[in-house]
Amino acid sequence: MNLSLALFVLLGFLAVVLLLEGLYVYWNDTKSPEVRRVEERLRAISAGGQVGGGEFKLLRQRLLSESPAVQRLLLSIPRAHQLDRLMQQAGDHKTVSHLLGICAMLFFGGLLVGLLLRWPWFLLLGVSGLLALVPLLLLVRRRNKRLQKIEAQLPDAMDLMSRALRAGHAFPVALAMVGTESPQPIASEFRITADEVGFGVSVDNALNNLAARVPSADVRYFVMAVIIQRETGGNLAELLGKLAELVRERFKLFAKVRVLAAEGKLSAWILTLLPFCVAAVIAILNPGYLKVLFTDEMGLLLVYGALAMMAVGILAMWRIIDIKV
C-alpha cells in the first residue's frame, strides 16, 4: 500500500514536471522575448517591399494580422499596406488589425456614450468618428517625431560610416556599425538594412528599402549618392563626409528660418484665436449681447462672412510662414 502510494506520488510529480516543462518549451518557442525580437526584425525587414527578382521571397509578405481570416480580409483592403508602412515609420511593431481594433473600440464606445446621453445623430456620428481617428492621429504624430530624430541623427551616422570606410571596412560592415553604435531610432533602421544585405539582398535594393521605410529627403540623398557612387566609382568615404556636412548646414539654415518665422507664427495664432476668445468672454459677461448674431438673418450672414474671411486670412498667414528649406 505504501509502495503504491509512493509510486503514485512519484508519477504525479513527474507528470507535473513534464507538464511545466512542456508549457515552458511552448512559451519559449512562441512567446519568448527572443522569438518576439526575431519576429519584429523579420517583419521590419519585409516592410520595405522593394526586393527584386527571387530575392528574399520568404520575408516579402508582412503579416497584417495574427489571424489568417483577418489577414485575408485586410489584404482585400486597398490601403491596408500603406497603413502598415505608416506604423513601421512610426516605430510601432504591432499589427494593422490591432490598430484597427482600437479604432473600432473607440468608435463603438463613442456611439454607446452618445446613445446613453441621447445626442443628435449628426453629433453622435461626428464624435464617434473623431474618437476613431485619435489612434491614427497619434500614430502620425509619433511618425513625424521619429522621422525628425532620424534626420537629426543622420549626419553623425554618415560620419561614422565615412570613418569606418577610411579605416578599411567594407560598406556593409559600415552599415552594421551604424546599427550597433548609433542611438535609436536610426540604429534600428540601419541594422535592418545591414540584415537585409546579410540575408542576400543586394545593397541597392536594401538602400531603396531604407528610403521607403524612412521617407526623408536627406535619407533619399544618402541612398542616391551611395547608389550612384557604386555605379560610377569614386571615394565613398569623402562623399559621405561632404554629404554629412551639407545636411548639418541645412539644419543650421532651417533653425535660423524657424527663429525668424517664430514671430509670424505667434502673430498668426493670436489673430486666429483672438475673435473666438473675445466672443467667449462677451458671451460669459453678457449672454444676450451676441444673441442677435445667431437669431437674425443678417447676423448669420455676417457670421458666415467673418468665418470665410478668417479662413482666407489663416490660409494666407500659413502660406507666408511656411518656409521651405
- pLDDT 10s digits, 120-147: 777 788 888 888 888 888 988 998 899 8
Domain ranges of the chain: 147-252, 254-321
Alpha-helical segments (H) within the chain: 2-30, 33-45, 68-75, 80-89, 96-117, 121-166, 171-181, 186-198, 203-213, 217-232, 236-285, 291-295, 297-321
The radius of gyration computed from the CA coordinates of the chain, to the nearest angstrom, equals 29
pLDDT of residue 56: 41
Query: How far from each other are the two terminal CA atoms of the chain, in whole angstroms?
Result: 89
CA atoms within 13 A on the CB side of 234: 13
pLDDT of residue 57: 42
CA dist., res. 71 & res. 310, Å (int):
46
pLDDT of residue 53: 44
C-alpha distances out from residue 228 to 171, 214, 234, Å: 14, 19, 10
Are residues 190 and 212 in contact, defined by beta-carbon separation less than 8 angstroms?
no
- Residue 113, classified by CB atoms within 10 Å of its CB into exposed (0-12), middle (13-18) or buried (19+), is middle
Q: Share the mean pLDDT of the chain.
A: 78
pLDDT of residue 7: 60
Question: pLDDT class for 54, splitting at 50, 70, 90?
Answer: very low
Answer yes or no: is pLDDT of 97 > 60: yes
- pLDDT 10s digits, 140-195: 899 889 988 888 888 989 999 989 888 888 888 888 898 888 888 888 888 888 88
11 against 122, higher pLDDT? 122
Give the percent of the chain with pLDDT over 90.
Answer: 0
pTM score: 0.64
Domain covering 147-252, topology: Receptor-associated Protein (1.20.81)
Residue that has been written with the C-alpha cell 511618425 in this structure = 143
